[in-house]
Structure 1
Amino acid sequence: MIADSTPVIIGVGQYSERVREPGYEGLNYMDLAGRALSASIADSSATGKVADSIDTLAAIRAFEMSRPGKEPPFGAPDNIPGAIAKRVGADPSRKILTTTGGQTNQQLVGEFASAIAAGESRCAVVVGSEAISTVLALAAKGEKPDWSEDIGGDYEDQGFGIDELMEPALFAHGASGAIPLYALAENARRAKLGKSLEEYRLDIGRLFEPFTRIAAANPHAAAPAMRSAEELATVTERNRIVAEPYPRMTVARDQVNQAAAIILASAGLARELGVPEDKWVHIHAVTASTELKLSQRPDLSAAPASIASVEAALARAGRGIEDIGYIDFYSCFAIPVFNQIDHFGLGIDDPRGLTLTGGLPFFGGAGNNYSAHAIAEAVERARRDRGAFALVGANGGWMSKYATGIYSTEPADWSANDRFEKLPLAQDAVPLAKETAARATVETYTINHGKSGSDAIFIGRNDRGERVIGNADLSDEATRELFESGEPFGDTLALEQDERGRTIGRLAPMPGL
């Protein structure tokens, strides 16, 4: 007999639409989320009223609301979680607008499961949506609908939660978004492997080719098309470099209209609501970790906190990676996937696959809510393959935060309420230089191609072993040739500050010349 206080997932739902395709309605964020939540309620097959039983609802913060000063172009409700709850006739006593981060929904599954096991909640929802594709389509036509709503009532705003993402020195040198920041880590891994740009791009293509096959069969995918490794790796006008080493088709696709919802309940309430037990999926472990800032990491190519999260979840579930039947490693870029498979010794052709959705470049990067889609797919796989285990790895920032969940129809004992764990932060941060040094040795770099031009950004170390961040001077021919060759690793740059306070590096002359 499964204890009444045991948390279980009773329903999952997804909803999506693609611009200009049959049935497209141009739904706003709240309506998309409401459709997904309605789908999750229907998915539970409950005979009772699930909506009436929801006591907690967490709305995942949309990308356009994810940093200070960024406002949704068409407005938003004054109470976002309340607006979503209203779509299904729910009125939870606890309404939450979450922090920023792609790990948030996976971490909340752990937090809400723990609250249910402690008797603090009986039914909790995690729900989010993105309508970026519709926003762009409407803006291109000069349309500006009013998506604001007067909902009223109280809700818990957890804030942006972006302190771990702040990299002022990198931002000041042009690495101010996810693409160049991940590219810095990706090139560090390439340097460790001793691969050329062309070889490494093909590695990325080979990793992601199977992802495109999964996306092509997923009705919710934003880009459902199969592509070969060579097509993904070959630089063309259509598949231009956005930041070395990334061609455009291998980075997360943010132009999506997607929503997903997850409903957790106590086993006792699930029984009261008439949810069939074959719909129940158990939560065997959830772990959450925070990584050092990118500029502080001893190894710029790795994210050990992410590995620690997966290892801890496997240990708590009493399983090894070989025991997991279904895997979704967060794939906004290649390196979060490489980070995991390098550690666990998995092949890119692992017969289990490395994604359940098709991955963020192909299924779509639904903002902070992507992993809710991955969890929904994991739940469906667990229900179909009873007794099998599914693992979802959710990533936030620039491999800055991670949360791992392990799911199965096999019961999980929550009597000790010890299946959700937050891991401690590492203490081996590399200090950032406080003063401009004369020289620095390049550890990694990227050339970021933006609307205002190209910036060559490097991370290196000075003679004291401190981290140095700067721009390589592409107007200097020798420096430009070095960085455009893709092989500046280990070279020494002479440094100076420009009038804007940026550190500028030029290839240092050989001693004695």
Structure 2
Amino acid sequence: MALPADRTPVIIGVGEMIDRPADPAAALEPLALMAAAVRAADDDAGGGFLARIDSLDVINLVSWRYDRVAARLAERLGITPMRAVYGVVGGETPTTKIHEAAIRIMNGDSIVAVVTGGEATNAVAKAKAAGVALDWTPPAAQPENPIVASDHVTPLAMRHGIVQPAHIYPFYDHAAAAAWGMTPGDALAEAGAIWAAFSQVAAQNPGSWGRSAFNAEQITTATPDNRYIAWPYTKRMVANPAVNQAGAVLLTTLAVARAAGIPEHRMVFVHGGAGAAEPVDYLARDQFGHSVAQDAVLDAAMAVAPGGFGAVELYSCFPIVPKMARRSLGLAADAAMTVCGGLSFFGAPLNTYMTHATCAMVRHLRATPAAHALLYGQGGYVTKHHALVLGSGVPEPDTLMRPRDVQMEAEAMRSPVPPLALDHEGAAEVETFTVVHDREGAPAYGSIIGLTPAGKRVFARIDIAEVGALERLDASPVGAAGTVTVAEDGLQHWRF
């Protein structure tokens, strides 16, 4: 039996805003960008929905730190929603919040909802470089829901200097390539091909920050303007947060949409989704060849869409994420994995990229209807995962009522976590590794996660100056033997 029309959630409007002023002093602040995106979503739905919004979700923003974020945005829009919430950090949060808004509509707790996010990182950086004071809402002394580094990385990780996303994702890239039986060259070629396809999509998306298409060689080859960030990632292989962009997604019930005269072919339905997470401490994970949380989430999405997906958007902060996801989904290496363009080329307004991806997917489904389409978002360091399934037709009731939390399923797939042996000295083998490069693109430092003969985990600094070390790392030393010592700094150190 189908859901009643007054409980069937449907996306009726999407809106985006991109701001490229020559003078940073003329740039719009994030609140203004988001307000413009919400109004654009209302226009896309035919207008008249702003005053009816009863639920407002604002994605966590970083470029300008406000207090009362959701309340301030509501004031700009001239609305008084019963529910106005500012979210926590996470690239998966747009898919999560859209899913939750749909469930509130299904449960009768909301009639018109909007999810929005925006950043002005480019303007802030240019203004700082030019010594320009931005005439924006004054930043708060105590901003709401700020990013706290210690919430995301441990003191041990900080001592190693392995704290940024670009430092940590290579752990998965190297371990997964070894698990798949790929050489480093094979793995890099796959990443280059995927990223080249993403850049071609971004070049055709009017909302993209970057409108240039690149071939695989231009993406993976290090040059002065495409330096290495952390092996094997060049600048064009990592997310680009230096943008001024905002997006918004407007939802209501099927009954309200029909009463407003919205044509059915412009409606996109929420069919379901699921979320799960890995331990925040990357050293507390069972392995690095795949993510059990990602696997559980994508398994749940495929259960909602047993016939497959007509289109997919796989999160793309770094190439390893869609590489792992497409294998979990059973997609071919040359499958289309984005409708938006990816975080490297469309732009990465930090936590809110998947808001834009949802806008792109809605437009795609309006033009090319499909029973099911997938939006897969990820946050942290392969940490938080959420999949959202959309479709051109009305969903079955049981799909929306499936559990949103599949953490138990993820834990059932998890292997035993190797205990840490941070005082171990002696033999070990490489589990995975990362090498961080400096601003000139030269190798600066790195760390190896390894396993002792007893199966315990070590975390050891690499001596970049060691003769032959870089050659061993470039050849992917996963499984190679080495020796661990504890140095005067109290950290383990590695020698091949």
TM-score w.r.t. structure 1 length? 0.87
Report the counterpart of residue 50 of structure 1 in structure 2.
Answer: 49
Report the counterpart of residue 17 of structure 1 in structure 2.
Answer: 19
Report the counterpart of residue 247 of structure 2 in structure 1.
Answer: 260
Matched residues in 2 for 1:313 and 1:80: separation? 32
Deviation of the 1:3 alpha carbon? 2.1
Report the counterpart of residue 233 of structure 1 in structure 2.
Answer: 220
Matched residues in 2 for 1:363 and 1:149: separation? 29
Counterpart contact for 2:58–2:69, Cα < 8 Å: yes
Deviation of the 1:494 alpha carbon? 2.2
Deviation of the 1:372 alpha carbon? 0.7
Report the counterpart of residue 476 of structure 2 in structure 1.
Answer: 487
400-409 or 490-499, larger mean C-alpha shift? 490-499
Q: Which amino acid aligns with 2:22?
A: R
Counterpart contact for 1:286–1:406, Cα < 8 Å: yes
Counterpart contact for 2:422–2:458, Cα < 8 Å: no
Matched residues in 1 for 2:193 and 2:263: separation? 41
Q: Which amino acid aligns with 1:102?
A: G
Runs of 4+ in structure 1 displaced over 6 angstroms? 156-159, 161-164
Question: Percent of counterpart pairs with the same letter?
Answer: 29
Matched residues in 1 for 2:398 and 2:221: separation? 53
Report the counterpart of residue 377 of structure 2 in structure 1.
Answer: 394
261-270 or 438-447, larger mean C-alpha shift? 261-270
Matched residues in 2 for 1:192 and 1:98: separation? 36
Matched residues in 2 for 1:451 and 1:150: separation? 30
Report the counterpart of residue 459 of structure 1 in structure 2.
Answer: 449
Counterpart contact for 1:457–1:471, Cα < 8 Å: yes
Q: Is 2:363 aligned against 1:405? A: no
Q: Would the alpha carbon gap of residues 472 and 387 (structure 1) be closer, same or farther in structure 2, given more than 3 Å must change?
A: closer
Q: Would the alpha carbon gap of residues 162 and 174 (structure 1) be closer, same or farther in structure 2, given more than 3 Å must change?
A: closer
Q: Secondary structure at the match of 2:404?
A: strand
2:209 to 196, 201, 222: 222
Q: Would the alpha carbon gap of residues 19 and 231 (structure 1) be closer, same or farther in structure 2, given more than 3 Å must change?
A: farther
Counterpart contact for 2:340–2:361, Cα < 8 Å: no
Matched residues in 2 for 1:341 and 1:480: separation? 30
Counterpart contact for 1:205–1:233, Cα < 8 Å: yes
Report the counterpart of residue 69 of structure 1 in structure 2.
Answer: none
Deviation of the 1:238 alpha carbon? 1.8
261-270 or 108-117, larger mean C-alpha shift? 261-270
Deviation of the 1:80 alpha carbon? 1.0
Report the counterpart of residue 113 of structure 1 in structure 2.
Answer: 102
TM-score w.r.t. structure 2 length? 0.90
Q: Would the alpha carbon gap of residues 375 and 416 (structure 1) be closer, same or farther in structure 2, given more than 3 Å must change?
A: closer
Instruction: Please show how residues 415-426 of structure 1 align to structure 2 within 5 Å.
Output: 418-419=401-402, 421-424=404-407, 425-426=410-411
Report the counterpart of residue 286 of structure 1 in structure 2.
Answer: 273
Instruction: Please show how residues 158-307 of structure 1 align to structure 2 within 5 Å.
Output: 165-293=152-280, 294-307=282-295
Matched residues in 2 for 1:481 and 1:335: separation? 22
Deviation of the 1:194 alpha carbon? 4.4
Report the counterpart of residue 298 of structure 2 in structure 1.
Answer: 310
Deviation of the 1:349 alpha carbon? 2.0
Deviation of the 1:298 alpha carbon? 3.0
Query: 1:429-467 CA deviation, whole Å, 9 max, x = no partner?
Result: 514414410132111112101459711211111232122
Matched residues in 2 for 1:204 and 1:150: separation? 39
Q: Secondary structure at the match of 1:299?
A: coil
Query: 1:59-109 CA deviation, whole Å, 9 max, x = no partner?
Result: 101134xxxxxxx4xxx4431112222332212121111011011110111
Q: Would the alpha carbon gap of residues 144 and 200 (structure 1) be closer, same or farther in structure 2, given more than 3 Å must change?
A: same
Q: Is 2:316 aligned against 1:339? A: no
Counterpart contact for 1:382–1:389, Cα < 8 Å: no
The size of the alignment, in residue pairs, is 484
Q: Would the alpha carbon gap of residues 10 and 90 (structure 1) be closer, same or farther in structure 2, given more than 3 Å must change?
A: same
Query: 1:473-492 CA deviation, whole Å, 9 max, x = no partner?
Result: 22332445533x43322223
Gaps of 5+ in 1: 65-71, 508-513
Counterpart contact for 1:50–1:273, Cα < 8 Å: no
